[in-house]
Structure formats: structure tokens, C-alpha cells
């Protein structure tokens, strides 16, 4: 199978290219080399296999997309602006890169007759995670009040009675509630993919990544994830800065596991398009191999940890300094969001293999990539 990997020179994309090559597929890379993830005047990574066709270009350009799609069987769409960014002034860039870029790509796929699509989705589409109140069962708290955050009351209360809540695991059927610009664009990408799949007779999967970390993360950029922030600080000899009280629950998943999830999803949508049933995608109507044109899957470790635990594990493996918990907060952040990835296990035959302790020990000394984003 020949797969176009947009953003294939980036952090996650380059690992997907490696995983596809190792699985016997042919990868084609299209990357705009945005400064938020690459050095200024950057080039495609030297680690890219010499037989991988690499194109420098933007998915927002129809001619570039048309050229990249020639001879392609499936698309793995990783190209995007990521993270919370700096402030709302980033909104036009996020919408342009993520939503307009996806629309141009999908339009080009329809014209080229490419009908298999895997999207880099995100857990941010859920907003806050799953919460249970002892009196009112499962509830959905709204955005946290600024006054509460300033007072150090970080846990969202029950919207019915104000009682303390217990966080749990989120399934793919949970309602979506994006809380910031990036999250909004990621949900819009899913809607575009679903609309394309129905209109074009294609199959689309969104892999809702949780907190991805691992070798090759960009450093020193406001567009990276929290793992990159902490690792970059340690490399500078500074203490990792932990917001709120550090008790925010997340699901940290290694980039090698994320790459494997993409290979599994590509096999599922391609098998479905070919009318075969290998068992990898399952036969349920909600699965990628069933009757649905679009399906979403959580991609996490099923091993929740707090942000404070992650910072401490990295600092310990790196040799210090210890994290500093500031009590500060960022508007748009959610308190707890952890996933159940059991649907991916059932329908894609995928599950995370790299545990938290092993992964953090490796990441503490792993090489990171420079970027000119600031």
C-alpha cells in the first residue's frame, strides 16, 4: 500500500513513516516544514529512509495536494498546528492550517479517487473528561470559573449540587465539548472527514490521540505538549513548571504506540474499502470495517497519571532539578481527561505496549528537535 503522510517530517508523522516502512508499505511524505515544529529554513529529517518520496509543500495548496496524491492508495493526515498556542490571536492560523488544509486535502482525494483516510484527531474534542457525582451519577461540568481558579479551586464541582466529583475514563461516544481554538479545529476536522466519507463513498478514521510523547518532540515552542515543556526545561537546567496543583489527570502515550495505531487504522480502512474482512477492524456497525463511513478511536495507554507525576518521573530520570508547582493556570485547559482505548483494541487490534515508567525513562534522555516557533 502506498500511503501519503501529510506532516510526515514532523514529530508523530516521521514515526508513522518509519512504522509504515517497517510494515512493508510505501510512504510518501508531504510537509510544509512549519517553524513551530522545525528549525528555521529546516529540511526534511536526515533519518527519513532514502527510498521515501519527500515533498515540501502545504496541504492548503490544491496543486501541491494533487501532485502528492498521484499513485496513492490511502492518506494519513498528520499535518496541523498543535497545542494551545499563545492566545486567541492564533485562531486564524489554526483554522487555516487545520480546517482549510483538511478541506483542500479531502477535495483533492475525491478528485484523485483516493478513498481511505486516517486523521490525527485529539482527545481535546471532549473538553472535560468523564465525572461521576455520588448523588447525580454521571455529570458534565461546564468550564471552570476564573474566580475559582484564582482561588486555587481547580476541581470542577457537580453542576447540580456543587459536590466533589470522581473522574473516570472517557469513551468515544461521550459528547464533544471543545474548550479552546485548537480543540475546535480538531472537531471540525472530524466533521469534514465524516462528510467527505459519506459524499465520496470513502472510509475515514479519526485517532483521538491523548498526550503523545517520545523522541523527536520539538523543543522550546509554545505549540508543543506538556511533556515537551518539561523536557525542554530540564535540558536548560531549569525546574519543570507545573500549573495548578499538578493533580490534573492525563493519559500519556508513547509515539511508537501512536505510530502503530496509525498502521492498524490504515489497514482497517483499506480492508473495508477492498470489501475484505480480516477481523482487524471488527464487523460492528460503528467500526472502521463495519457499515460506518467514519469512526473515531481513542489512542491512549489506559494508564492515567497526573501531570505532577509525569514531571517528577522525567526530572528523576534526568537527574533533576525537581519540578516546581506554581498554582498558576491557563484558560482553556481542562482538569481531567483520560481515555478508554478498548474500542481500538477490539476493532483495530491495537493497544499501547510501552508503559509509563519505561517510556518516561527513555524520554528523559531522548533527542529532541529544534524549532524556530516562538
With beta carbons less than 8 A apart as the criterion, state whether 102 and 60 touch.
no
Q: Distance (Å, rounded) from C-alpha 244 to C-alpha 154?
A: 7
Residue 374 clears pLDDT 80, i.e. is over it? no
Q: List the domain boundaries for the chain.
A: 2-129+170-280+291-365
Give the fold, CATH level 3, of 2-129+170-280+291-365.
Rossmann fold (3.40.50)
Q: Using pLDDT thresholds of 50, 70 and 90, give the confidence band for residue 273.
A: confident
Q: Distance (Å, rounded) from C-alpha 364 to C-alpha 213?
A: 11
Q: Using pLDDT thresholds of 50, 70 and 90, give the confidence band for residue 122.
A: very high
Residue 318 clears pLDDT 60, i.e. is over it? yes
Q: Using pLDDT thresholds of 50, 70 and 90, give the confidence band for residue 35.
A: confident
Q: What is the pLDDT of residue 39?
A: 59
3-state secondary structure of 139: strand
Q: Distance (Å, rounded) from C-alpha 335 to C-alpha 244?
A: 9
Q: Distance (Å, rounded) from C-alpha 324 to C-alpha 241?
A: 5
Give the C-alpha distances (Å, rounded to integers) separating 366 from 234, 315, 318, 334: 12, 13, 10, 28
Look at 119-128, 148-157, 248-257, 287-296 and tell me which has the smallest mean pLDDT.
287-296
Q: What is the pLDDT of residue 223?
A: 67
Q: What is the pLDDT of residue 137?
A: 97
pLDDT in tens, 99-115: 999 999 999 999 999 99
Q: Average pLDDT over the chain, rounded to whole?
A: 90
Mean pLDDT within 271-299: 62
Residue 302 clears pLDDT 90, i.e. is over it? yes
With beta carbons less than 8 A apart as the criterion, state whether 32 and 6 touch.
no
- Any idea what the Cα angle at residue 234 is, between residues 233 and 240, rounded to 5°? 60
Mean pLDDT within 52-58: 93
Q: Using pLDDT thresholds of 50, 70 and 90, give the confidence band for residue 34.
A: confident
C-alpha cell at 168: 473516570
Q: Distance (Å, rounded) from C-alpha 230 to C-alpha 219?
A: 10
> Where would I find the H helices in 154-225?
181-200
Report the chain's terminal Cα–Cα distance, integer Å: 38
pLDDT in tens, 199-228: 999 999 999 999 999 999 988 776 678 999
Q: Using pLDDT thresholds of 50, 70 and 90, give the confidence band for residue 146.
A: very high
Q: Give 136's contacts (C-beta < 8 A, 6+ positions apart).
A: 158, 160, 161
Q: Distance (Å, rounded) from C-alpha 289 to C-alpha 236?
A: 47
Total number of residues shown for the chain: 374
Nearest to 123 by CA among 231, 252, 9, 214: 252
Q: What is the pLDDT of residue 52?
A: 87
pLDDT in tens, 67-100: 999 999 999 999 999 877 677 888 999 999 999 9
- Any idea what the Cα angle at residue 19 is, between residues 28 and 364, rounded to 5°? 120
Q: What is the pLDDT of residue 282?
A: 31
Nearest to 249 by CA among 207, 300, 215, 298: 300
Residue 275 clears pLDDT 70, i.e. is over it? no
Amino acid at each position: 500500500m502506498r500511503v501519503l503522510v501529510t506532516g510526515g517530517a514532523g514529530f508523530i508523522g516521521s514515526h508513522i513513516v518509519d512504522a509504515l516502512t517497517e510494515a512493508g508499505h510505501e510512504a510518501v511524505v508531504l510537509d510544509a516544514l512549519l517553524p513551530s515544529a522545525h528549525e528555521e529554513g529546516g529540511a526534511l529529517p536526515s533519518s527519513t529512509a532514502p527510498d521515501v518520496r519527500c515533498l515540501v509543500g502545504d496541504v492548503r495548496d490544491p496543486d501541491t495536494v494533487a501532485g502528492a496524491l498521484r499513485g496513492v492508495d490511502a492518506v494519513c493526515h498528520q499535518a496541523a498546528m498543535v497545542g494551545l498556542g499563545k492566545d486567541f490571536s492564533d485562531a486564524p492560523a489554526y483554522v487555516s492550517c487545520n480546517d482549510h488544509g483538511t478541506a483542500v486535502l479531502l477535495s483533492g482525494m475525491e478528485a484523485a479517487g483516493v478513498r481511505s483516510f486516517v486523521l490525527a484527531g485529539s482527545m481535546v474534542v471532549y473538553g472535560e473528561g468523564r465525572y461521576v457525582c455520588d448523588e447525580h451519577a454521571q455529570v458534565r461540568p461546564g468550564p471552570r470559573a476564573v474566580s475559582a481558579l484564582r482561588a486555587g479551586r481547580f476541581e470542577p464541582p457537580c453542576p447540580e449540587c456543587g459536590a466533589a466529583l470522581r473522574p473516570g475514563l472517557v469513551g468515544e461516544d461521550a459528547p464533544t465539548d471543545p474548550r479552546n481554538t485548537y480543540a475546535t479545529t480538531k472537531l471540525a476536522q472530524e466533521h469534514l472527514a465524516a462528510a467527505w466519507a459519506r459524499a465520496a463513498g470513502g472510509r475515514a478514521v479519526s485517532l483521538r490521540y491523548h498526550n503523545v510523547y517520545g523522541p523527536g518532540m520539538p523543543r522550546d515552542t509554545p505549540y508543543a505538549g506538556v511533556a515537551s515543556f518539561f523536557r525542554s526545561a530540564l535540558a536548560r537546567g531549569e525546574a519543570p513548571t507545573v500549573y495548578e496543583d499538578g493533580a490534573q489527570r492525563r493519559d500519556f502515550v508513547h509515539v511508537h504506540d501512536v505510530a502503530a495505531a496509525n498502521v492498524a487504522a490504515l489497514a482497517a480502512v483499506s480492508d473495508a474499502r477492498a470489501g475484505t474482512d480480516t477481523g482487524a477492524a471488527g464487523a460492528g456497525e460503528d467500526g472502521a470495517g463495519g457499515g460506518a463511513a467514519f469512526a473515531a478511536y481513542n489512542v491512549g495507554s489506559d494508564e492515567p497519571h497526573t501531570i505532577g507525576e509525569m514531571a517528577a518521573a522525567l526530572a528523576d530520570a534526568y537527574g533533576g532539578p525537581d519540578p516546581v508547582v506554581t498554582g498558576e493556570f491557563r484558560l482553556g485547559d481542562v482538569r481531567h481527561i483520560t481515555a478508554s482505548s478498548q474500542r481500538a483494541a477490539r476493532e483495530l487490534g491495537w493497544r499501547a505496549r510501552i508503559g509509563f515508567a519505561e517510556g518516561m525513562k527513555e524520554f528523559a534522555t531522548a533527542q529532541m528537535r529544534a524549532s524556530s516557533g516562538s
